[in-house]
């Protein structure tokens, strides 16, 4: 009996939760698999394979966010594609001056649930329709469909966070509203299916990551808002 309880607990810990927005896709995939199987049996297994990929794509694993009121964490799983001075989207009202922007590119195999990069109040939330260019391109930050967040921390710092649709991403899901107070690492939405996330840092806030590094949403520390950390170098081993 104790062995079965231990096995059940291990299975519960190993099971990865599915984001609620994924269930309609999974259910639709199962229905399609059954219908296709009635027409031609091998198509059932193909439909089942696609359904399994849907469940994998919409996985929503728990994350442990480092403690620290001033820490800035990655909003997404993926590879840090660029760290550069870039003018924030105009809808955020952050001015014309370039800010340090950290860009994370998500491929179709990454977890696509996005998390708040920093704790604070969402003082502006703006949707901007646009194109669906490859999210890896620099101009995707300006031309693509996006959802922008302006977050003000209790210490008065202002951050920009932008969800950007990609070549095959056709839907940005936002799970918060303007005026909400969020904690760093809190779920704020997702993007289907390939995409990019940009984080705009305040002046004097140095990045603690480097281009090419893999980031984990809610866990990888992007920067320290206390501004007492120098930029880190990067070396491949």
| DSSP label at residue 132 | -
Averaged pLDDT, 80-108? 93
Domains of the chain, earliest start first = 2-57 (no CATH), 71-224 (2.70.70)
Instruction: Just list the catalytic residues.
Output: 195
Averaged pLDDT, 52-71? 87
| DSSP label at residue 189 | E
Measure the CA–CA gap between 63 and 16, rounded to whole angstroms. 11
152 and 114 Cβ atoms separated by less than 8 Å = no
pLDDT given for residue 8 in this prediction: 45
58 and 189 Cβ atoms separated by less than 8 Å = no
Report residue 72 as tokens: 């800035």
Exposure class string for 187-203: b at 16+ Cβ within 10 A, else e? bbbbbbbbbbbbbbbbe
Q: Angle of helix 23-39 relative to helix 41-57, nearest 10 degrees? A: 170
Residue 235 has pLDDT above 60, yes or no: no
| Rounded (10°) CA dihedral 12, 18, 24, 29 | -80
Quick one: the chain helix, strand, coil %, rounded to 5?
25, 30, 45
- What is the model's pTM? 0.82
91 and 106 Cβ atoms separated by less than 8 Å = no
Mean per-residue pLDDT over the chain, rounded: 84
| Span 133-145, pLDDT tens digits | 555 556 556 667 8
């Amino acid at each position: 009996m104790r062995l079965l309880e231990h096995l059940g607990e291990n299975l519960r810990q190993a099971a990865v939760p599915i984001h609620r927005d994924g269930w309609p896709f999974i259910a639709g995939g199962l229905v399609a698999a059954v219908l296709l199987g009635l027409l031609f049996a091998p198509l059932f297994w193909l439909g089942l394979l696609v359904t399994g990929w849907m469940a994998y794509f919409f996985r929503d694993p728990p994350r442990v966010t480092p403690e620290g009121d001033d820490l800035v964490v990655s909003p997404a799983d993926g590879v840090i594609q660029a760290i550069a001075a870039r003018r924030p989207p105009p809808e955020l009202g952050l001015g014309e001056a370039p800010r340090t922007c950290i860009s994370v590119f998500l491929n179709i195999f990454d977890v696509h649930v996005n998390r708040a990069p920093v704790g604070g109040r969402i003082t502006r939330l703006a949707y901007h329709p646009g194109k669906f260019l490859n999210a890896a391109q620099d101009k995707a930050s300006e031309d693509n469909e996006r959802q922008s967040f302006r977050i003000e921390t209790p210490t008065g710092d202002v951050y920009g966070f932008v969800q950007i649709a990609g070549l095959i991403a056709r839907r940005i899901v936002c799970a918060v509203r303007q005026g909400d107070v969020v904690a760093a690492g809190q779920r704020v939405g997702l993007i289907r299916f390939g995409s990019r996330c940009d984080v705009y840092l305040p002046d004097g806030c140095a990045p603690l990551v480097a281009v090419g590094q893999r980031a984990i949403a809610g866990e990888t520390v992007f920067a320290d808002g206390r501004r007492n950390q120098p930029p880190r170098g990067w070396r491949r081993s």
